[in-house]
Chains A and B, each alone.
Chain A
Amino acid sequence: MTQLPAPGATPAAPPPAEPLPTTTPARPRWRETLGLLARNPTAAVSATVLVLIVLVAVFDETLAPYGPNEQDPSLQLQPPSRDHPFGTDEFGRDVFSRVILGAGTSLRVGFLSVAFALVVGTLIGLVAGYYGRWVDDTLMRLMDVLFAFPAVLLAIAIVAIRGAGPANAILAIGIVYVPIFARVTRASVLGVREEVYVRASRSVGASDWRLITRHVLPNAAPPIIVQTSVSLAFAVLAEAALSFLGLGPRRPNPSWGLMLADGRGFIEQAWWYAVFPGLAIVVTVLCFNLLGDGLRDVLDPRQRTLMAGGGR
Chain B
Amino acid sequence: MTSPAEQEVLVSARGLEVHFPVRSGGALRRTTGALRAVDGVDLDVYRGETLGLVGESGCGKSTLGNALLRLVPPTGGTVTFDGLDVTAMGRKQLRELRRRAGMVFQDPFASLDPRRTVAQTVSEPLEVHGLHPGRQARAARVRELLELVGLDAGVAARYPHEFSGGQRQRVGIARALAGEPDFLVCDEAIASLDVSVQAQVLNLLRRLQRQLGLTLLFISHDLSAVRHVSDRIAVMYLGRVVEVGPAAAVAAEPQMPYARALLSAVPVPHPELERSRQRIVLRGDVPSPARVPSGCRFRTRCPDVFEPCPDVDPVLQPVGSAPGHLAACHLHGVVGAPVQRAEPGAPVGAGDPAS
List chain A positions with a Cβ less than 8 A from chain B: 2, 10, 13-14, 16-18, 20-21, 24, 26-27, 29, 195-197, 199-207, 210, 214-215, 218-219
Contact = CB atoms under 8 A, between A and B. Distances in A.
13 contacts: A13-B152, A18-B164, A18-B197, A196-B110, A197-B111, A197-B114, A201-B124, A203-B71, A204-B99, A205-B129, A205-B179, A210-B128, A215-B113
Q: Which 3 A-B pairs have the closest CB atoms?
A: A205-B98, A196-B110, A204-B125
Nearest to B155: A20
Interface string B209-240: 00000000000000000000000000000000
B306 interface: no
Interface stretch (B170-178, B272-280, B344-352): B170-178
Interface stretch (B2-10, B79-87, B101-109): B101-109
B157 interface: yes
Given A20-B155, A204-B98, A219-B113, A14 B129 contact: no
A29 B105 contact: no
Interface string B63-81: 0000001010000000000
A214 B115 CA distance: 9
Interface in B119-175: 124-125, 128-129, 135-136, 139, 147, 150-155, 157-159, 162-164, 166-167, 172, 175
A61 B299 CA distance: 87
Given A26-B117, A218-B115, A2 B139 contact: yes
Contacts, number: 98
Nearest to B165: A18
A203 B69 contact: yes
A17 B147 contact: no
Contacts of B288: none
Interface residues of B, number: 47
Contacts of A206: 124, 128
Given A10-B153, A197-B110, A203-B71, A26 B159 contact: yes
Given A199-B71, A201-B113, A204-B175, 11 more contacts: A14-B150, A17-B197, A195-B110, A196-B111, A199-B105, A203-B71, A204-B179, A205-B98, A214-B113, A214-B116, A215-B113
Contacts of A210: 128
A18 B167 contact: yes
B200 interface: yes
B227 to A, nearest CB: 23
Given A2-B136, A196-B107, A203-B98, A18 B179 contact: no
A24 B154 CA distance: 13
B147 A200 contact: no
Contacts of B113: 197, 201, 214-215, 219
Interface string B27-68: 000000000000000000000000000000000000000000
